[in-house]
Amino acid sequence: MKPAMIFFAVALSGTAAFAQSMAEMDADGDGVLSMAEVQALFPEVTEDAFASADTDGDGVLNEAELTAAQDAGVIPAN
């Protein structure tokens, strides 16, 4: 792949660093994070913290909820 094409691919994928972080945390690859997946990396995240991050209450964190929780400092960003 030519360098210009690699740049284009990275630009298309948006925030590459976040995508990698989500992929690393999502152990079963279903695109959302369960509390077990979050706690596997961040044992300090409590059930209450997870619940506050899970704004739609479906029991898992999607990308938007993860980003918001990391911005708010509820879940560590790395």
Which parts of this chain interact with Ca ion (CB under 5 A)?
Answer: 26, 28, 30, 54, 56, 58, 65
The number of angstroms, rounded, from the C-alpha of 51 to the middle of its chain's C-alpha atoms is 15
Least distance to Ca ion, CB of residue 71, Å: 16
Least distance to Ca ion, CB of residue 11, Å: 27
Q: Which is nearer to Ca ion, 56 or 77 (CB)?
A: 56
CA distance 60 to 9: 29
Amino acid code (one letter) for 24: E
Least distance to Ca ion, CB of residue 46, Å: 16
